Structure formats: structure tokens, C-alpha cells
Amino acid sequence: MASLPDTTSVAGDSANATFLGQPRGLATLFFTEMWERFNYYGMRALLVLFLVTAVQEGGFGLDDRTATAIYGLFTAAVYIVALPGGWIADRLIGAQAAVFAGGALIALGNLMLAIPATPGVFYLGLVVMILGVGLLKPNISAIVAALYPEGGARRDAGFSIFYMGINIGAFIGPIVTGLLAQSAGRRWGFLAAAVGMALGLVQFALTRKYLGDAGLHPRAHDGRVLARGFGPQWYWVIGGLAALTVLIALIWAGVIGVDAVSLSRNTAVLIVAMAVVYFAYLLFFAGLDRAERNRIWAVVVLFFASAVFWSGFEQAGSSLNLFAERFTDRTFESLGWTMPAEFLQAVNPIFIIVFAPVFSWLWVALAKRNLDPSAPVKFAFGLFLMGLGFLVMVGAANVLAAGGSPLPYWLILTYLLHTFGELALSPVGLSYVTKLAPQRFVGQMMGVWFLSISFGNLIAGIVAGEFGAENVQAFPDQFFQVFVFASVAAAVLLLIAKPVKKLMGGVN
């Protein structure tokens, strides 16, 4: 694809416009991402509950194993398609166009979920949503970075503000969709999610001028601006979409049968195989020196630790969501009102908003005293906190097994501990992968890192299927097993923390 001279400024004619002391374009991205997360977390709070709801009550009446496997496949696929989504923006259409196209697909997909049509239309809506998130999610962050070509502390502050938009949307989404689900049915909740994304698109279109050149053009590896137009690289996109269309048509016609649980397990195996092949390539065939290979081994350890963490954390939208719906006493007798189970999905983002600055301060304060834990230790801490959350659920399950109805505070405390675990592990993982990866492989390594989250989400869906409503007496033991597994993983990580830190070769 031909290159063009890069003659425009990052902020265009609106360079002097500001938002909280930042480039005005940050407000465009802040509200676009806020509405996208409103959409995503709003529908995520409804998905499993809708799938297991009886047909006569407007749902699909699926068993828990199938419903949670579908949930796991959906949340995993969102991370997988971020890889081609980023490539399409980088090389073909630019990040701004990718964000708008992604938002349109997300709104359309949620609209398909809201239509009272056949299950086939619903599942196709999930596929459309997945493609949309894959285009929007990785590229909107890239535009934020492009607003600050100078980098530095101002960019960090901009990302902090942007991160608040993510969590505000994630907080509001389950509240709005939960209220609508309670009063009018869960299809209306999906419709609200679609409307939210549509509002984000309108806002993006009306204020896009403030982004100027940030993310406007596709670029080559060396940063040259590329001309848009149909070229050989488009054949990969057309071929991929054609293959996906044929596959969907064959499934729709009944030629290919799909079992969600088996598909989930097979996809998990495929992701592990992809990761193993890629790490093997880096270690033995990429021409890395010894220090670089050692750092790749450190990433391998963190990769699997990350997958273990997300396999427990993502129970929030599946098994723990079902626990809230079926077994938790959410009645406020003085108000004559029962809180929707979806409301509890808003707990994590509000905890993130409150405690993210605390964790940032903590790491800085420890570093000043030369006490900052290494990445493996932080990961172990995150894993243990995740497991501790399930130990809390053992108490809730014992109340249930004894014939009582656990109050919401059990789940709230679990989500608090899981949020602490997320803050100890997730941002640390993203940061260290960029530091440990050889510079010529940073983009690819970030893609592989997303595979660890995808793998964890798939396992989460499979594990969640074991917490069936007919198996209440086994819940205490099952939650305790998750606690033990997470604690053992944390202990192993602590035991190998020093050797792993040595492999990192001084990267802090």
C-alpha cells in the first residue's frame, strides 16, 4: 500500500481545546468508551441469566453448563478478535474508522439480542458484537496514546482519566439494564445496551474533529502514513469474513452441529497450543539473545498465572451471577423492593474507581523504600486474593446449605477481594509484558498476553457449569476447591519468584 506525506498535526485545528486540562479529543474518547463499557457490562450482566431463564418466561431455558460455556466463549472471543481488529486499523482503515465501525457493529449486535426472534438470531448478534468489540476496544486506546506524541506524565494522566470513563460505564450499565430487566424483561435490557452504544456513536461522530490526525490514518511498521484503498491485504479480511459467513450458514442450516461445552474445551486447547507454538518460536527460532530468551521464560510463567486468575475472576458474570439471582436474599422489606441480581455486577467497577489510586500510591510508596514487590510476587498476591474471595463464598454456601438465604454482603466482600486481586495483577501484567518483550515483538506479545485472558475466560465458563442449581449441597466444597487451587498456584508462584525475577534480568 502506498504511503503519503504526514503533514497534519495530531490535534488539528482544535489543538488548544481542553478537557480537564487534557486535549479536547480525550473527552470524545472518554464518552465513547464510557458508552461502550455501559453496553458491554450491561449486556454481560444479563447474558447468563437470560440464557437459563425458562422459555415461557422469555429466555432460552438452557442448562447451566451450556449457558456458562456460551458466556465463556463470548468473553474469550472478545480478546481474540482484538488481534485482527488492531491489524485492520493499523494497516487498512485507521483507528478512528475502526472505532466507529466497531461501535456500529456493537449496537447492531445488541439490537439483535433484543429482538424476540429465534435463538439463531440471538447467537448471530453475539458474533456481530464480538466483531465490533474487536474493532473498537484495542483501537480506542491507541487513539488515546496518539493524542500525546510527546508521551510522559501527561499521557499517564490522560489514560487515568480515560480509565475512569471505562469504569463509570461499567458501573452504570448493569444498573440500567438490571432495572429494565426487572420491570420489563431482559430483552429490554439488551435494547438499553444498544441505545447506549448508539449514543456513544453519535457523540463520537459529532466531536470527532477534536481528534485531528490521532488514529486517522493507517500506518506502516515504520510509522509512514498509508493511503487507503483496496489492496492485497484486504484479501485476508475478505477471506476471513467469507469463511466465517460459510461457517455460520452451515451451522444455521444444521449441517454442522455445535455443542457449546465441547467447543469451549476445544477452543481452550487451541489457545494453549497457539501460545506454546508462539513461545517456542520466540525461544528457539527468533534469533533472540540469552537475556531476551530468559525474559520470555518469565513471560511464560506470568501468562499461565494470568490465565488462572481470570478463570476465577470471571465467575462474576457466570456462577456468582447465578448465585445472586437464585439464592441471595436481595429483598429490602422496608422499601418493598427486590434488588435486581444484575446490580451486583456494578460492584467491581465502583471498587476499581475507589481503590485504583490507592494501589498506585502503594506501589510508588513501596518503591521509594526499595520494598516494591517483583511482578511474580504481585501476581501471587493477586491469585491469593482471588482465592480468598472464594473462601468467603464458602461461608455463603454454608448458609445456603443450611437452608438460609445468604445476604448480598457475601458477594460484595468476594468482589472486593477480587478487585484487590485484579489491581495487583492486571495492570502489572500489561506493564511488564511491554518491558520484558523484545522491542521488535512488543505488539505480538501483547496479543499473546490477551490470549492468557481469553484462555482464563474459557476455563471460567467451563468451571461455572459445575455450580448447578441441583447441586447446592456441594457448593461449600466446590468453592473451597477453587480457594485451594488459587492458593496453591499463589504459593508455587511465591516459591519460584526469585528465579523468575532473575530471569527478568533487572527489569523492574
- pLDDT tens figures, 412-438: 999 999 999 999 999 888 888 888 988
Across the range 172-184, mean pLDDT stands at 95
392 has a pLDDT exceeding 90: yes
Across the range 229-245, mean pLDDT stands at 87
- Residue 454: partners with Cβ closer than 8 Å, 6 or more residues away: 76, 77, 78, 79, 80, 271
156 has a pLDDT exceeding 60: yes
144 has a pLDDT exceeding 50: yes
The pLDDT assigned to 16 comes to 59
56 vs 493 pLDDT, higher one: 493
Cα of first residue to Cα of last residue in the chain, in angstroms, is: 39
The pLDDT assigned to 223 comes to 66
The pLDDT assigned to 11 comes to 44
Handedness of CA 298, 299, 300, 304 (dihedral sign): positive
259 has a pLDDT exceeding 50: yes
The pLDDT assigned to 158 comes to 83
The pLDDT assigned to 7 comes to 38
6 has a pLDDT exceeding 60: no
3 has a pLDDT exceeding 60: no
Q: Of 26-30, 197-201, 434-438, 488-492, which range is least confident?
A: 434-438
Across the range 482-488, mean pLDDT stands at 97
The pLDDT assigned to 364 comes to 83
Average pLDDT, the chain: 90
The pLDDT assigned to 487 comes to 97
The pLDDT assigned to 127 comes to 96
Do residues 372 and 508 make contact, with C-beta atoms less than 8 angstroms apart? yes
489 has a pLDDT exceeding 50: yes
Q: Of 4-13, 18-27, 182-191, 210-219, which range is least confident?
A: 4-13
Q: How are the residues of the chain apportioned to helix, strand and coil, as percentages rounded to the nearest 5?
A: 80, 5, 20
246 vs 445 pLDDT, higher one: 246
User: What percentage of the chain reaches a pLDDT higher than 90?
Assistant: 66
CA-derived radius of gyration, the chain? 23
Q: Of 52-66, 87-101, 120-134, 437-451, which range is least confident?
A: 437-451
12 has a pLDDT exceeding 70: no
Across the range 362-367, mean pLDDT stands at 86
Handedness of CA 341, 345, 348, 350 (dihedral sign): negative
340 vs 161 pLDDT, higher one: 340
Q: Of 4-13, 172-181, 331-340, which range is least confident?
A: 4-13
Question: In which band, very low, low, confident or very high, does the pLDDT at 2 lie, cut at 50, 70 and 90?
Answer: very low
> For the range 278-286, what are the long-range contacts, defined as Cβ-Cβ under 8 Å and sequence gap of 24 or more?
278/444, 278/448, 279/303, 279/448, 282/438, 282/441, 286/438, 286/441
Question: In which band, very low, low, confident or very high, does the pLDDT at 152 lie, cut at 50, 70 and 90?
Answer: low
The pLDDT assigned to 4 comes to 39
Do residues 435 and 287 make contact, with C-beta atoms less than 8 angstroms apart? no
